Structure 1
Amino acid sequence: MAYNNSTQSGGLGSLKQISRKVIIVQVLIAIFLYLNCLLLTTFFKKDVFRSSMRYIFFAYTLMSDCMYLMVTDILLLLSFYRIVMQIWLCILFLIVGTAYNLIFPLTLTLMTLERYVAICMPMQHGALCTPRNALHYILIVNAISLLPISISLLIYSASVPVSMLSEDSVCTVEMLIIHRWQSHYWSAIIQLYFVIMFVIVMFCYVQILKAARKASGETKKSSGKGLRTVLLHGFQLLLCLTRLWCPLVEAAVVQIDLILFINVRYINYIVFTLAPRCLSSLVYGLRDRRLFVIFKYYAVFGLSCVLVSRGTSSQQYMGIAQSISLKSNT
């Protein structure tokens, strides 16, 4: 009897701990979604942003982040509370989540290449980095990101009967792995993607570093800023790359203790899933002078009243922000 009571109290304590973790995740995701939506509002409000490939990529990164955070949050809640859904619906969630998980680092790589062209190949930048080309590059990124999950779905559909799609199950990405070799295939493909992207980012970093050493004046300042941006992109990709080894750690931990497994998966989600996407807002949203001034205008409610009380109207403030946007070409 005493054993049963202690087991029940331990179970309740674990449930409370899980609930607290779920609440923390919801708060963090709400903050990130709020910041991303404000930055997207800033992007769509000004033509100067929509005419630049750099900001188009940034806005697409924000939109993919929002979609990925919402989908993974739903799957996280369903997994924590062991809520089942039909397998065909789960597969749709997994397609979206997996694709947007790859879209994020691929778009980061595109943004790094754009900075490389702008700093190291300024004469070709105007021809290569147009808004029309940006949309073409985004379509290519979408196709590349869908390739691995498409192959996995073909293997899954060939291995299970169609009637199984209407069955109920807890939705996890592991359900698509029918054969043991599939996990090795998936790991190899994703690591190949990230190694290629990381090599591209490091190549751009080295080339921009060389350009920064040779430059002088405003060009040197622009190169230095681009260098820091590329370095932050490299750090984001490193976090994403580290995320690839998390399932291996989680698979080993789940054999030891279920609560420890939940804690490890929770930490991995915060550090290697949320953190890289949070950095996107910092890299461009808060460090970029163009975006920050207008972002601040939309972010602080009642700001226009404060400005008016100081003798500056909201129209004048937006005029100042617009002039800063036009002057900031780096």
Structure 2
Amino acid sequence: MSNTTVRLVFLERVLYITLTTVPCCIFLFINGTMLYTLRSKPVFRETCRYILLYNLLFADTVQLTLSQLMYILSFSRIFLTYPGCGVFLMLGNLTNPVSPLILVVMSLERCVAVCYPLRHASIITIRNTAVAVIVVWAICFLNVVIQILLLLEFPFEELETLQMKTLCNTAVMLLSPLYYDYEEAYTYFLFICAGLIITSTYIVVIIAARSASTDKASALKARNTLLMHLVQLGFSISSTIHNPLLFAVSKLVLFSVLIRIQNFFYVFFIILPRCLSALIYGLRDQTIRPVLVYNLCCQIKLSVISGKPKVSP
């Protein structure tokens, strides 16, 4: 390979890494600011739906950080050790199921708010919300424990060195067919159950909205929120089909074309689903929006279009 070709390949890799890293860093800044915002005031720390939102954003932010780090390592052709690769994979497997499970809890909370408005404060308490969050993380942790047990089947004693000679991915680390069966069953079960529960709460809220005793404005807002949860769940599902879809496309196109398609898939299926939560909630929620904008602008006071100064939160 000539020096010119090597230089072009290097520049192409730098270009791809830059095109993905820059928007990723922007979204990480937004997510980080949103996380800070949700911990900056008592109204956020002591409101159940904001506690759930914090956990959703935290899991998405960790996933986004891990994905970008693995992407950079992959394009830079940097090989990890087997233990290091295992840590990255298990951390990703811990936080990945958090999003759909938290969305389920958030949907149930909105359903209770519409169907049982008088009992909402007694049912959706800080204590019950904390228990729900602990259960969600416990389910995800149990999933990781099972995967680690399956990982122990890897023949590490047959390796000459722990340094990997290929890129870090699940196919290299976990060779047992049982793992793939478990992962497939777990993923299908998780998203089917989450989809059914969120859809059911959406239908229940629509029925409740037709009741004369229901606050129409509150029901309409809850319905839109649940619809947004369904869209977010769809985005979460899209991230799980990234690798199978990329594998299928790799059989149809040249390698040079595959690299470009891989970057498009990565941005669309990995980056966007992990950053939309902060934008959607931050701009939609009237309580969060002014504080978020204030923090995003590095606490510089903004003015409205009319010229009247906006009171800083």
2:219 to 199, 217, 223: 223
Give the superposition deviation at 1:288.
Answer: 0.3
Q: Tell me the equivalent position of 1:298.
A: 295
**CA distance, structure 2, for counterparts of residue 125 and residue 239 of structure 1:** 29
Please identify which structure carries the higher helix content. Answer: 1
Whether contact under 8 Å (2:48, 2:129) holds in the other structure is: yes
Give the superposition deviation at 1:302.
Answer: 6.1
- What value does the CA root-mean-square deviation take over the aligned residues? 2.7
Please, which runs of 5 or more residues in structure 1 have no aligned partner? 322-330
Give the superposition deviation at 1:260.
Answer: 3.8
1:36 to 19, 31, 40: 31
Q: Tell me the equivalent position of 1:132.
A: 127
Q: Tell me the equivalent position of 1:115.
A: 110
Amino acid at match of 1:125: H
Whether contact under 8 Å (2:28, 2:275) holds in the other structure is: no
Within 5 Å, give how 1:1-330 maps onto structure 2.
9=5, 13-161=8-156, 164=159, 167-169=162-164, 170-214=167-211, 219-256=215-252, 257-301=254-298, 303-304=300-301, 317-318=311-312, 321=313
Whether contact under 8 Å (2:61, 2:275) holds in the other structure is: no
Give the superposition deviation at 1:224.
Answer: 1.1
Give the superposition deviation at 1:279.
Answer: 2.0
**CA distance, structure 2, for counterparts of residue 32 and residue 247 of structure 1:** 22
Give the match's secondary structure for 1:45.
coil
Give the superposition deviation at 1:118.
Answer: 1.1
Instruction: Provide runs of 4+ in structure 1 moved above 4 Å.
Output: 11-15, 162-166
Amino acid at match of 2:187: I
**CA distance, structure 1, for counterparts of residue 44 and residue 160 of structure 2:** 44
CA pair 14-122 structure 1, distance change in 2 beyond 3 A: farther
Amino acid at match of 1:73: Q
Whether contact under 8 Å (1:87, 1:166) holds in the other structure is: no
Query: Relative contact order: is structure 1 or structure 2 higher (C-alpha 8 Å, sep ≥ 6)?
Result: 2
Pick which of 69-78 and 249-258 moved more: 249-258
**CA distance, structure 2, for counterparts of residue 165 and residue 104 of structure 1:** 39
Whether contact under 8 Å (1:191, 1:244) holds in the other structure is: no
Give the match's secondary structure for 1:214.
coil
**CA distance, structure 2, for counterparts of residue 230 and residue 305 of structure 1:** 32
Please, which runs of 5 or more residues in structure 2 have no aligned partner? none
Q: Compute the TM-score of the two structures, normalised by the length of structure 2.
A: 0.87
